[in-house]
């Protein structure tokens, strides 16, 4: 993996990433950028097309969930700490909340941050106020979480994929996967599901129970993100996949990482 630690490279990546986050509705999308959380606690800002990265922050535990909203990174830790970090300053993360369990999924929708905890709690937190998280609902042990404009999707250790109403704590089984759901990404049309069994499923959001095998890896799929027409997925083998979102079995190794990618959030600029 090509790591660049100089201030100059960091500032170049930050400038483009911030522009992408704040102005995604403007210019034509040209390249992929991302925030990556590694199992060794490093948080990276990356240009995904040629894959070069700069370290943004370092935690003392695995970064198991990450998302970006309006130039702010929200990250969940295996230790249960939730960080709030600016995208344009190194080593500037602050503690936004503390859970009593690992935070295995995090997403922003509207005025709220939703977080899935390993102890089965789904948190809902005010986006702009620290220590405001409250229990939204409870289920079995949560390994992943994703949100679109209508629903919260929750991947369970038991292998069930749950769908919850966005504004009401009403949930039900959307699809049984048969293996622990380690990672999720969702658009308004499809859910991409990464399993402990190394299978990636694609499920139409409008048709419960209709998931199909989209790709098969040689290692558990620990993280997934979608940007444009590309899916990026981290594997337990430390490989990073790039997959065309409309082409089953089209995934290829993008890069071999020094540590497992436990969380990833990507977007276009």
Question: Tens digit of pLDDT for each residue in 197-210?
Answer: 999 999 999 999 99
Task: Of 94, 106, 12, give the one whose Cα is nearest residue 53.
Answer: 12
- CATH number for the domain harbouring residue 57: 2.120.10.30
Check pLDDT > 70 for residue 6.
no
What's the pLDDT at 95?
Answer: 97
Region 11-23: mean pLDDT is: 56
Check pLDDT > 80 for residue 19.
no
Name the pTM for this structure: 0.90
Contact predicate 186/205, CB 8 Å: yes
Using CA atoms, how far apart are residues 197 and 200, in angstroms rounded to an integer?
A: 9
Check pLDDT > 90 for residue 60.
yes
Contact predicate 115/99, CB 8 Å: yes
What's the pLDDT at 29?
Answer: 46
- Write the pLDDT tens digit of every residue in 94-135: 999 999 899 999 999 999 999 999 999 999 999 989 999 999
> How many domains, the chain?
1
Q: Which residues have C-beta within 8 Å of that of residue 227, sequence separation ≥ 6?
A: 32, 34, 48, 266, 267, 268
Q: Which domain holds residue 109?
A: 2-268
Instruction: Give the three-state DSSP class for 206.
Output: coil
Contact predicate 78/65, CB 8 Å: no
What's the pLDDT at 99?
Answer: 94
């Amino acid at each position: 993996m090509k790591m660049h630690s100089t201030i100059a490279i960091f500032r170049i990546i930050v400038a483009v990433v911030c522009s992408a986050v704040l102005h995604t509705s403007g210019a034509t999308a040209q390249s992929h950028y991302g925030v990556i959380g590694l199992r060794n606690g490093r948080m990276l800002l990356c240009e995904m097309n040629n894959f070069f990265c700069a370290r943004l922050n370092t935690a003392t535990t695995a970064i198991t969930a990450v998302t970006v909203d309006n130039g702010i990174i929200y990250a969940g830790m295996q230790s249960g700490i939730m960080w709030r970090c600016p995208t344009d300053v190194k080593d500037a993360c602050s503690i936004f909340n503390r859970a009593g369990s690992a935070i295995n999924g995090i997403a922003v929708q509207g005025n709220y941050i939703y977080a899935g905890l390993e102890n089965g709690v789904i948190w809902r937190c005010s986006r702009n106020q620290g220590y405001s998280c409250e229990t939204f609902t409870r289920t079995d042990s949560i390994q992943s979480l994703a949100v679109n404009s209508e629903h919260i999707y929750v991947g369970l250790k038991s292998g069930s994929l749950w769908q919850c109403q966005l504004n009401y704590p009403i949930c039900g089984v959307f699809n049984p996967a048969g293996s622990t759901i380690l990672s999720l990404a969702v658009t308004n049309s499809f859910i991409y599901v990464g399993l402990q069994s190394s299978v990636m499923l694609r499920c139409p959001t409008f048709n419960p129970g209709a998931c199909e095998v989209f790709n098969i890896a040689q290692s558990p799929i620990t993280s997934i993100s979608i940007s444009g027409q590309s899916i990026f997925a981290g594997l337990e083998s430390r490989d990073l996949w790039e997959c065309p979102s409309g082409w089953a079995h089209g995934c290829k190794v993008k890069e071999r990482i020094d540590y497992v990618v436990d969380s990833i959030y990507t977007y276009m600029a």
